[in-house]
Chains A and B, each alone.
Chain A
Amino acid sequence: MNKELEHRFVTELEDNQNIVHKVCSLYTNDRDSHKDLFQEITIQLWKAYPKFRGDSKFSTWMYRVALNTAITLYRKSKKRVDTQDYDSVIFKIKADEYDDTEEKQLKLMYNAIKQLGDIDKALVFLYLEDKDYSEISETLGITEVNARVKMNRIKNKLRTILNP
């Protein structure tokens, strides 16, 4: 019985691990912290898994647990790497994939997002993941209207960073 639960959980996490990796690369600055956060999110997911009823999709449920762990439960390790010499995989841009201006724009955008606060990052993340405002608002615990207002403010903030 337990073995079966373990197996089901690990398989589902393996299939959906991208979500966790994306959260990790957004909230950490170096490889060790990335691993650390991934580990902690996995533990929290596993602890909550027996109560997962399957009313919602596994991935939807994962977004919530992963973000909550990153924003609230995870303690950043002391050795914070603030230098930008490490760009986690997702922020790396292959030169040949884009023409110059586009590449530059994207690079600037990713850097700007990395500088946002925890909550703003969560909003941008869910937005980039193509979540609608009702899901965003439910995940964060704010109203839909406020989620929209907040998102507009972040867009403005990003715009000013991009076009000073």
Chain B
Amino acid sequence: MDELELLKKDWQKKEEHLPKLSYDDIYPMIWKKSSSMVKWIFYISIIEFVFWAAINFVSSDPQYMQDLKAMHIYNIMMVLNFVNYGIILYFIFKFYLNYKKISVTDSSRKLMKTILKVKRTVTQYVWFNLIIFATYMIISLYGVLIFSDEGRKIVETATEQGNEMTFWFLVIVVSILFTGVLLVVIWLFYRLLYGILLKRLKENYRELKKLEV
């Protein structure tokens, strides 16, 4: 293509018109803070780890533990907690390893891939926490209804009135709806957050990948 060759020549002539920064212009630049996307992902991930760890921490105060014992769901909650912490540690470890792999000197495609991998770890972490959270909620609800005084009263009243089936049906429907709405809200939030942050990266990555098919 002649035009492109013409352009190439012209392009190389252009060098003389480029801005010219001096040593003293450049030197302070190396100490400025980066505002790269990777940094954003890192901060958001840290916030997420802390947020979900805090939720776990708050929900394990002594009073609450007593309540759990009274409701006979202490053991199952403890097992769940144990598993939970183990998996959180696993995620933090995996996140750290993946994050370390991000290197700006890799090829474009590999760089994009490693960034998406880090993001995937965080997404998995969030999903895992949501599932754990929902499980806690359901077990607690069950504990309250079966073992607490108020709960028992409600169940008894329902049974006396002959509405036991309807009552349990309602409980199930309400808890599913509640969990569902909660999950959708959180899911939307993440779509928005990462959507904004990663839209361009995903498009570019898709384009490079498309070439390899």
Contacts and interface: CB of A to CB of B under 8 A. Distances in A.
Interface of A: 6, 9-11, 13-14, 17-18, 21-22, 25, 38-40, 42-44, 46-48, 51-52, 61, 64-65, 67-69, 71-76, 89-90, 92, 102, 105-106, 109-110, 117-119, 122, 127-130, 138-143, 146, 149-150, 155, 158-159, 162
B26 A43 contact: no
Contacts, number: 157
The majority secondary structure among interface residues of chain B is helix
Contact of B23 (A11, A51, A68, A159): A11
B94 interface: no
Which of A65, A75, A138, A158 has the most B CB atoms < 10 Å from its CB?
A: A75
Given A42-B30, A140-B108, A14 B115 contact: no
Given A17-B21, A73-B38, A149-B211, A139 B108 contact: yes
B38 to A, nearest CB: 6
A163 to B, nearest CB: 9
Interface in B99-118: 103-112, 115
A141 B110 contact: yes
Interface in B16-39: 17-23, 26-27, 29-30, 32-38
A75 B188 CA distance: 22
